[in-house]
Amino acid sequence: MEARELHEDALVIDGHNDTIVSHQRRGTSNLSGGPFLAQTRGIVSYLRGHLASPAADIDIQINFPLMQSGGIDAALFAIDVTLARNNHLIYAIDALGALDVEVECSEGAATLALTANAIRQAKADGKRAVIMAVENSDATEGSLNVLRMLHRVGVRSMGLTHNTSSRAADGNDESRTGGGLTTFGVALVKEMNRIGMAVDVAHLSPAGFRDVLDTVDAPIINSHTTCAALCDHPRNLDDDQIRQLAQNGGVMAMTFVPRFVDAENPTFDRFIDHIDHAAQLVGPQHVAIGSDFDGGGTLISDATVFPSITEALLERGYSEADLRLILGESFMRVFEQIWN
């Protein structure tokens, strides 16, 4: 099977983007590629303000038409609440509401996926599957009741923190303290496992990473990271962590953030090196892709470049079966276990 044919046939999932907040702050277009939907304007743009040049002048990296052009069947649309200080929950709900409107106004091009089966059905129907995610568990405001309601709204994945610390855990910027999960963080992780929400360890401190693995009874994800063995950045996983993640049955998604790929010369080929390193270390069933589009994943221009990943891995001798895992089935294995 040729690269493009394989890419189109495979189930392709992007594990992380920051697109809905970026769209709200730009106020120039909607996720279907048309004019901005005025009815979605709300708390996000009010609290954070509009993007100024030069950031506002950079083309959006992912939306529903770009997903289709790039053969991306599903994506986790994350709401990072970190900078919405003292307003974390209303910020999250506002952005999730805007995302819901975007799906509703897509004229059938996109659908909200609440189960793993819904992702497969969306592909069969030729639709883009939108998965709601929250980045930084401060969106719960320290309440497991709020977590339950976020799940009821449609959130299927949540990161425990960002670079800084949250009520649940220390972020990677605070690793010098040796702090991991708080008492609330332990309870939060257990409840996420119980109700069926993916625990995302991206941004966690090393101690927090260990604490999560000691607490969970389901596979974890790291939605956007790369390998510390190739680029020694605090956001990347070292080989021991990658092995521990694999032992848990989890999945790590490689990201296009240049400084995570290489400190001096971040290239697309170097990005492929990260996929190769992890796949060789623990197997492709624990490796995926998480772009971080519209949030720092600028190593490639936009979603239309995704087929190049398939081409590059085929050139390196990866089998069709291994490629299907990396492109989406690794995520699906975890989602099917957690959500269904």
Token pair of 23 as six digits = 């769209």
* Structure confidence by residue, pLDDT tens digits, 74-121: 999 999 999 998 999 999 999 999 999 999 999 999 999 999 999 999
Topology classification of domain 3-339? TIM Barrel (3.20.20)
d(CA 100, CA 94): 10
- Determine what percent of the chain falls in helix, strand and coil, rounding each to the nearest 5: 50, 15, 35
- Give residue 241's pLDDT: 98
Q: Which residue in this structure is represented by tokens 């089998």?
A: 319
Query: How would DSSP label each residue in 161-218?
Result: --SS--SSB-BGGGGGGT--B-HHHHHHHHHHHHHT-EEE-TTB-HHHHHHHHHH-SS
53 confidence band (pLDDT: 50, 70, 90) = confident
139 confidence band (pLDDT: 50, 70, 90) = very high
- Break the chain into its structural domains and give their ranges: 3-339
Q: Which residue in this structure is represented by tokens 């053969």?
A: 71
335 confidence band (pLDDT: 50, 70, 90) = very high
* Structure confidence by residue, pLDDT tens digits, 198-232: 999 999 999 999 999 999 999 999 999 999 999 99
Query: Angle 219-94-56 (CA atoms, 0-180°, nearest 5)?
Result: 95
* Structure confidence by residue, pLDDT tens digits, 235-252: 999 999 999 999 999 999
- Give residue 51's pLDDT: 81
- Give residue 91's pLDDT: 97
- Give residue 16's pLDDT: 98
- Give residue 340's pLDDT: 72
* pLDDT reading at 52 higher than 90: no
Q: Are 155 and 134 in contact (CB under 8 A)?
A: yes
